[in-house]
Amino acid sequence: METNPVNYHRKMNIPWLFNMAWRDTRKNRSRLFLFISAIVFGIAALVAIYAFKYNVQNDINGQAATLIGADLSVSGNKPADVHLKKLLDSLGDERSQERSFASMAYFPKSKGTRLVQVRALQGNFPYYGAIETTPEQAGTTFRKGQMAVVDKTLMLQFNAHVGDSIKIGNSLFLITGILNRAPGQAGVVAGIAPVVYIPMQYLEQTGLVKIGSRVNYSFYYKFTKPVNLDKLTKKLDPMLDKAGMRYETIEGRKENTGRNFGDLSRFLSLVGFVALLLGCVGVASAVHIYVREKIASIAIMRCLGVKASEAFLIYLIQIVGIGLIGSVIGAALGTAIQHLLPVVFKDFIPFTISVQISWMAIGQGILLGVIISLLFALLPLISVRNVSPLNTLRLSFDDAVLSRDPLRWLVYLLILLFIVTFTYLQLDSWLGSLFFTLGILGAFIILSGVAWLLMRFTKLLINGSWSYLWRQGFANLYRPNNQTLILMVSIGLSTMFICILFLVQNLLIGQVTLSSSGNQSNMILFDIQNSQKDSVARLTRQQGLPVLQQVPIVTLRIEQINGKTAADLQKDSTIKIPHGVFAYEYRVTFRDSLSDSEKLTDGTWIGKATPGKDIPVSVEENLSHRANLKIGDKIVFNVQGVEMPAYVASIRKVNWGKVQTNFQVVFPTGILEDAPQFQVLLTHVPSNKVSALFQRAIVSSFPNVSIIDLGLVLSVLDELLNKISYVIRFMSAFSIITGVVVLVASVRISKYQRIQESVLLRTLGASRKQIFAITALEYWFLGSLSALTGIVIAFGGTWLLAKYSFEIPYTVNFLPALILFFVISILTVIIGLLNSRGVLNKPPLEILRNNA
Amino acid sequence: METILNIADLGKTYQSAGRTLTVLHNINFSIAAGSTNAIVGPSGSGKTTLLGLCAGLDRSSAGAVELNGINLGNLTEDQRAQVRNQYVGFIFQNFQLLPTLTALENVMVPLELRNEKNIRARALDLLDKVGLADRGHHYPNQLSGGEQQRVSLARAFSNSPKILFADEPTGNLDAETSEKVVKLLFDLNKEAGTTLVLVTHDLDLAAKTQRIIRIKGGQLIADEKTING
């Protein structure tokens, strides 16, 4: 018989595979669109953040000079000595100086007072950019007389206008302009410490700069002639370091700002990534069901001679194509959303953000979308290789079960590796990324476990005594082709993320309000001169307010630790003391007993010094760790030029969360009483009205005394937290939308599977109401149990975050969780019912024909 | 006459709930090239399993299947797929057309797989032969059962198979349509000189072939020529 030999090595016809992949999507495209929409929002979030990151990077590079305002800035918190002054005066071609400090400002017209940051300026600073004011010229003209430019929030708060006056210390200044933005200052910072610029030549007469005042001294330089700043700063470094001063160049600011925004964008990328992961859960389950529906087609193709690898490739091409389309749509959406980000972030960023299309971000987003959709689709897709052609002879759809391929373990491993690697790229920490991945994995396992248990238990629990509707509704949870697992995981994960965000926000805000409640101190008066101590206390009592605490504060530095100085540190790298320990200016107190926010952890508390012997001091726990200090270690303190030998007598644990004066170092009585010092007084004001009256009385009698109104700080902090939580909510919205899309997709898929049964029920005489009740019961049960599980995991996650990340006490707030529980459960039922409305409203025959 | 299919000591067992289920036991027969044959037997007798083994859709548990001189037991699933593509055509009871492809595309698939030329024209020619030249752009769900089976016939003959396996080709059709489809099947078969093996429990249909192989309880109980033989 004449016969052609079998060509076992037939080459793969790649164009045909693409053609088949395309043809095979016909009639499924609307469903495939649902699959891709699951990844669209995750990709959109990431592309928007990446684009934002690149634009910010470009803006930092382009605007770094205006952020610092000069080629070089030098700053420190004590005046330069003669030697250093000579050096500082020799630098640069143009020079400016600034003294900044916190002080009370008084608005005579409205009689309002508030703590502000006074910046006394001399010279033409900033050399790059401008002090942005309204009117524009005020940023320069205020230097010509006794004038001030005042932060816009302050102007609004006290209803002040240009032409009004403001009192700083003993001097009145004419407000010549509204400060819109100081160089390098973000909007949020202005809310905490609003800035008032005054000319330096009028600083003296305010009477605010005295010994012990906490003033920051800054020197700004412009180099008109070319100079190697790297070389210059290297030379200056040891001298400035010795004087406890810091320097900054434009390059340095670029790096620092870049690093700060790197952290922000990394965090936001993770939130976006979570949305993407959530979408991938949807993709994996959707592809699983899609492939299961395709078994018959695959079997026919195998029968006609299509190889296993060819069948696999046909569907792989489809999924990559879908992933690509989803990613492109996501990237386009992300590029559009990117325009919103500068509005969302404007309060956190000290410069103008440009919005440009970032092809790099788009490329990254599309690549990521394709990789991740492919990885998650691979799980069900590898089973395509095992579909037997024998199915053409035997298969009915209900029997189609995809075999479990051993290669799936490899895919699981690839997915885990991908998540760890991606989070590492965002967090830059293997440990962090490992915890993140384990957290996600743990949540997956718990949710899958609960889903599994639910199916087992429901099967066991249902019995004939239940009404038909309940039995049918619950049976839907475990019968073949159920959506229990996918819905539990997707709804549970979405709920968990949203709930954690709410709980953490509540925890942080709760932490702040807790410390301001009751009869605790909520107003702090500081910079009280020793001579004013008694009169300030008297005035406080006259106003009917309690003096809750009055504490002396002495400023000092550490000169030596166990005989080692800062200079030794530079010579010998084996000394395990950070340099900052010597450079830092400590504010310490002296007393004979521990306060109620302190607990001794080591050594013995000595409340009184013995004349002629080394001074026994108590060191705070964190400082002892940082400076590697143990009981008995010798420390030489420098108190305004006088050296004082001391030793570590005890180590204390301090509750910094309590609103009262806390200290890193506490001296015994009998040593510092005569050292230059200032006093701090703590009181409690019952209302804003009393607070305003008291502040006015203090400022008019003691203009040098500064007041922190904790109520105001709290409201600013609350505003800040609201802004932060707005940013987080904005980002988590992507997760929520993805969660809803996955929910809609999952429910829609189940609709195709349920349709036959619902129609059968209707044909047998079930009323619309009954079908409605069965569907509602099923989705209510699924939604509520998923939400409950997600919330329980969120409580656990928040506890871990509170204990290990924020290190604050964990308190449970059930209200947001309860609201979330009902919102998610009801939303699930609504989506479930909306999807089933086709079955409810149309005659059975019509549906059967349409879905045949 | 040459042998196209040789079945020797063929057996098939399945593991079910810890028990070994014997579906086919010690089957032996040969099919001559160009002949028409029917495998008949009651439901559950193992005839469809036998068809699957003969066509290389499944592996036997014992014995050998030699198709066109090739021992299918020695081949991998992909190699068997290639054998099916080159030598075998199929007709199924439920037509098994790819639902996302048009009638014309369904006929084209075996040819496309072989990377042949003039695929479209040849497929259109085949559709013309089954009387569906004007329905080529319709999807399976837009065609009646009889029309779908005719498309299936066109597809089965598209790769000029050496042997055609038909599993209850009229099982899902009414009497009148069945008659038309059967006539078409036999006409095309005669024209192409293909060997036909059909599985059925319709004895009238079986009688149209040259030989009837009877199976019962997984065993061959009779092998007889018909008046056509």
Which pLDDT belongs to residue A245? 83
- Facing residue for B113 by CB, picked from A306, A308, A309: A306
- pLDDT of A150 higher than 90: yes
Q: With an 8 Å Cβ cutoff, is B68 touching chain A?
A: yes
| 100-119 in chain B: CB under 8 A from chain A | 100-101, 105, 109-110, 112-115
- Candidates A309, A371, A19, A204; CA nearest to B78 is A309
> Mean pLDDT throughout A411-419?
89
Q: Do A1 and B33 touch (CB under 8 A)?
A: yes
Which residue from B minimizes the CA distance to A298?
B98
Q: A199 and A125, same structural domain?
A: yes
Residue A230 lies in a domain: no
Give the per-residue pLDDT at B210. Answer: 94
> What mean pLDDT comes out for the span B166-175?
87
Please check whether residues A555 and A700 belong to one and the same domain.
yes
- Give the number of domains in chain A: 4
Which of A35-44, A356-365, A414-423, A721-730 shows the lowest mean pLDDT across its residues? Answer: A721-730
Residue B66 has pLDDT above 90, yes or no: yes
Q: Residue A850 has what pLDDT?
A: 52
Residue A96 counted as domain residue:
yes
- List the alpha helices (DSSP H) in chain B: 47-54, 77-87, 103-113, 119-129, 145-158, 175-192, 203-206
Which superfamily is assigned to B33-59+73-225 in CATH? P-loop containing nucleotide triphosphate hydrolases (3.40.50.300)
ipTM: 0.90
Q: Which range (A303-312, A346-355, A391-400, B101-110) has the least confidence? A: A391-400
pLDDT of residue A397 exceeding 50: no
Non-local CB neighbours of A462 within 8 Å, separated by 6+ positions = A471, A474, A475
Contacts of residue B70, defined as CB under 8 A and 6 or more positions apart, other chains included, come to A6, B83
Q: Domain check: are A734 and A818 in the same one? A: yes
For strands A586-590 and A665-667, give the pairing: parallel
Per-residue confidence (pLDDT) for residue A845, from 0 to 100:
62
* Average pLDDT of every residue of chain A: 82
pLDDT band at A847 (very low <50, low <70, confident <90, very high): low
- What count of other Cβ atoms lies within 10 Å of the Cβ of residue A729? 16
- Asked which of A183-192, A261-270, A634-643, A752-761 is least confident by mean pLDDT, the reply is A183-192
| Residue A2, in any domain of the structure | no
Interface test with A, best of B12, B39, B77 (most A CBs within 10 A): B77
Characterise A352 by phi-psi region: left (phi > 0), alpha (psi -120 to 50), beta (else). beta
Cβ–Cβ below 8 Å for B57 and A303:
yes
Tracing tokens 């920051």 back to the chain, one arrives at: A216
The pLDDT score that the predictor gives to residue B196 is 93
A395 — pLDDT class (breaks 50, 70, 90): low
Structure tokens at A137: 């010229």
A730 touches A138 (CB < 8 A):
no
Q: Confidence band (pLDDT; 50, 70, 90) for A496?
A: confident
Q: Sorting pLDDT into bands at 50, 70 and 90, what band is A519?
A: low
What are the backbone angles phi and psi of residue A704, rounded to the nearest 5°? -80, -15
**How many other CB atoms sit within 10 Å of the CB of residue A201?**
13
pLDDT classification of A718: cutoffs 50, 70, 90 = low
Q: How far from chain centre, in Å, is Cα A487?
A: 28
In this complex, the residue of B4, B77, B99 whose CB is nearest that of residue A308 is B77
Q: Are A330 and A49 contacting, i.e. CB atoms less than 8 angstroms apart?
A: no
The reply to whether residue B167 touches residue A393, judged by beta carbons under 8 angstroms, is yes
pLDDT > 90? residue B151: yes
| C-alpha pair distances (Å), A682 with each of A515, A551, A706, B77 | 14, 9, 12, 86
Are A697 and A758 contained in the same domain? Answer: no
Both tokens of residue A333? Answer: 């959406």
Look up the domain containing A396 and give its range.
11-64+264-428
Residue A1 clears pLDDT 50, i.e. is over it: no
Range from A566-580, A616-630, A768-782, B125-139 carrying the lowest mean pLDDT: A566-580
According to the model, what pLDDT value does residue B105 have?
94
Which pLDDT score is estimated for A264?
67
B162 reaches A (C-beta below 8 A)? yes
Q: What's residue A331's pLDDT?
A: 93
CB contacts of A315 in chain B (<8 Å) are none
Do A480 and A553 lie in one domain? The reply is no
Chain B residues whose CB is inside 8 A of the A311 CB are none
pLDDT of residue A827 exceeding 80: yes
Same domain, A314 and A384: yes
Residues 6+ apart with CB under 8 A from A505: A721, A725, A728
- In the predicted structure, residue B200 carries a pLDDT above the cut 60: yes
Per-residue pLDDT averaged across B143-148, rounded?
91
Question: Please, what's the b/e burial string for B29-64 (b: 16 or more CB within 10 A of its CB; e: otherwise)?
Answer: bebebbbbbbbbbeeebbbbbbbbbbbbbbbbbbbe
Are the beta carbons of B87 and A389 separated by less than 8 Å?
A: no
pTM to 2 decimal places: 0.70
Q: Are residues A596 and A690 located together in one domain of the fold?
A: yes
Identify the band that residue A623 occupies on the pLDDT scale cut at 50, 70 and 90. confident
Higher local confidence (pLDDT), A257 or A301? A301
Strand pairing partners for A171?
Answer: A168
Q: Are residues A563 and A604 in the same domain?
A: yes
Q: Please state, in angstroms and rounded to a whole number, the distance separating the CA atoms of residues A519 and A679.
A: 22
Apex CA A377: angle with CA A476 and CA A501, to 5°? 70
Q: How far is residue A68's CA from residue A251's CA, in Å, rounded to a whole number?
A: 10
pLDDT of A481 reads 63
Domain-located, residue A716: yes
What would the pLDDT profile of A114-135 be if each residue is shown by its tens digit? 888 899 999 998 888 888 898 9
What confidence category does residue A541 fall into, taking pLDDT thresholds of 50, 70 and 90?
A: very high
Residues A730 and A728: their CA atoms lie apart, in Å, by 5
Q: Are residues A531 and A656 in the same domain?
A: yes
Task: Name the band, by pLDDT with cuts 50, 70 and 90, for residue A772.
Answer: confident
Q: Between A6, A299, A306, which is nearest B86 by CB?
A: A6
Chain A contact set for B110 (CB, 8 A) = 304-305
What size, in residues, is chain A?
852
Confidence of residue A398 (pLDDT cuts 50, 70, 90): very low
Contacts of B83 in chain A (CB under 8 A): 6
Q: What tens digit of pLDDT does each residue of A362-388 get?
A: 999 999 889 988 888 888 888 888 888
Residues paired with residue B3 on neighbouring β-strands, in sequence order: B32
Between strands B36-40 and B211-216, the pairing is parallel
Whether residue A399 is predicted with pLDDT greater than 70 in this model: the reply is: no
Q: Determine the pLDDT at residue A212.
A: 58
Q: What is the pLDDT of residue A2?
A: 47
- Of A208 and B151, which is predicted with more confidence? B151
- List the domain boundaries for chain B: 33-59+73-225
pLDDT score of A78 more than 80: no
- Inform me whether the pLDDT recorded for A405 exceeds 70: yes
The whole-number pLDDT of residue A294 equals 85
Contact yes or no for B7/B179 (Cβ under 8 A): no
Q: Residue A387's closest chain B neighbor by CA? A: B77
A715-729, B9-23, B56-70 — most confident range: B56-70
What percent of chain B shows pLDDT beyond 70?
A: 99
- Of chain A, the percentage scoring pLDDT greater than 90 comes to 18
Q: Are residues A565 and A531 in the same domain?
A: yes
Closest CA to A63 of A350, A284, A287: A350
Q: For an interface test with A, which of B82, B106, B155 has the most A Cβ atoms less than 10 Å from its Cβ?
A: B82
Residue A245 domain-assigned (yes or no): no
A209/A324 same-domain check: no
Q: Say if residue A852's pLDDT is above 50.
A: no
Q: Which of A279-283, A564-568, B91-95 has the highest mean pLDDT?
A: B91-95
User: Distance between CA A88 and CA A75 in Å, rounded?
Assistant: 11
Give the residue with greater pLDDT, A256 vs A421. Answer: A421
User: Quick check: A18 pLDDT over 80?
Assistant: yes
Among the residue ranges A445-454, A641-650, A674-683, A834-843, the one predicted with the least confidence is: A834-843
Are residues A251 and A712 in contact, defined by beta-carbon separation less than 8 angstroms? no
A115 CB-near residues (< 8 Å, 6+ apart): A102, A103, A104, A105, A193, A706, A707, A708, A709
pLDDT of residue B186: 92
Q: Is B83 on the interface with A (CB under 8 A)?
A: yes
Per the CB < 8 Å rule, is A26 touching B100?
Answer: yes
Instruction: Fill in the DSSP letter of residue A564.
Output: B
Residue with tokens 């209803």: A159
